[in-house]
Amino acid sequence: MLIIVCSVKNAPGATTLGLGLAALWPENNAVLLECDPEGGDLAARFGHHPQPGLTGLAAVARTEDAQVDLGEHAQELGVGARVVLAPPGDAAAAAVQTLTYSGIEVLRRAADEQAVILDIGRLARGKPGIRLAAVADHVLIVAGAQLSDALQVQARLEWLRPELSGRLWLVRSGDNGYGSAELSRELKVPVLGEMPTSRLVAGALAGRLQVPNWRRLKLARAMRDMAITLTTAQPASILPPDTAAERLVAVEARS
C-alpha cells in the first residue's frame, strides 16, 4: 500500500502523522520516506546520520529494475518508526527529484509487500509530489479546521482530483473550528480522522521530548485508528506496477 501524507499550506502536522502511522501501523511493517523537498530535518531531530537514507535509495532506484528492500535504506528512530531519512538542504530536493522521476516503479513494487508512507510536505501543482500522489493508493491531506484552512483545500480540489487514482482523505488537525462532519460535507472529501492537539505526542514525534507512554495518549490512539482504517479501506483504484508509467504520462500531459 502506497500512502501519501501532505498539507496544502502551513505545517499542520503532516510529518507528525507520517511518523505516527509508521510507528503505530498494525502489521508493524510500515516504512516512512522523508520525501519533502524542503525536509531533511528528521535525522538531526533524532540524532541520526542521514545515511543510509533517501539519497542512496534514489541512486539505486535509478539504476536497478529489481525489487529494492526499503529496509536497507531505513533507520529506526527512537519512537519506533522505520524511516528513510532525507539529507538536509538542496540534497533533499535532489534526492526527491531523482526518486520521483526514476523510482516510481520501485516504490510501487515495495508497496505491494508493505505499507510505504511518503511525507511529501506541501502538495503544490506542478511539483514532484503530484507525480507521487498520482500513483498512490491513499492521499491524506492534513488541514486545520478553520474557514481559511478549508478554503485552501477547496481551492486545490478542482485540479487535484483528476490527478489521483487512489482515495483522497482529509485529516482534521487541531481542536477548534469546523467539525469533521462539516468539513466532509462542505468539501465532499471523507475525513479519515482527527489529530487533537497534544504537546507530549507532538514533542515525542518531533524528537524534542522523551515520552515513554506516548502511544497511550489520545493523539497516538487517533493515529492508530487511522492506520487500522487504511488497512481495511479499499482504494478507489489500485494501479498495477506496469501501468504506473502510463498514469504518469497522463499527469505530465496535464501539467
* CATH code (residue 240): 3.40.50.300
Residue 47's Cβ-count burial label (10 Å; 0-12, 13-18, 19+) is exposed
Q: Is the pLDDT of residue 238 over 90?
A: no
From residue 214, alpha-carbon distances to 23, 199, 201, 204, 231 in Å are 11, 10, 6, 7, 22
The rounded distance, in Å, linking the Cα atoms of 147 and 240 is 38
Range of the domain at 123: 2-254
Residues 6+ apart with CB under 8 A from 122: 6, 7, 8, 9, 36, 38, 129
Residue 17, pLDDT > 60, answer yes
pLDDT digits (tens, 9 = 90+) for 113-146: 999 999 999 988 888 899 999 999 999 999 999 9
Over residues 50-57, mean pLDDT: 95
Contact 164, 187 (CB under 8 A): no
Instruction: Report how many domains make up the chain.
Output: 1
* CA separation for the pair 144, 195 (Å, rounded): 9
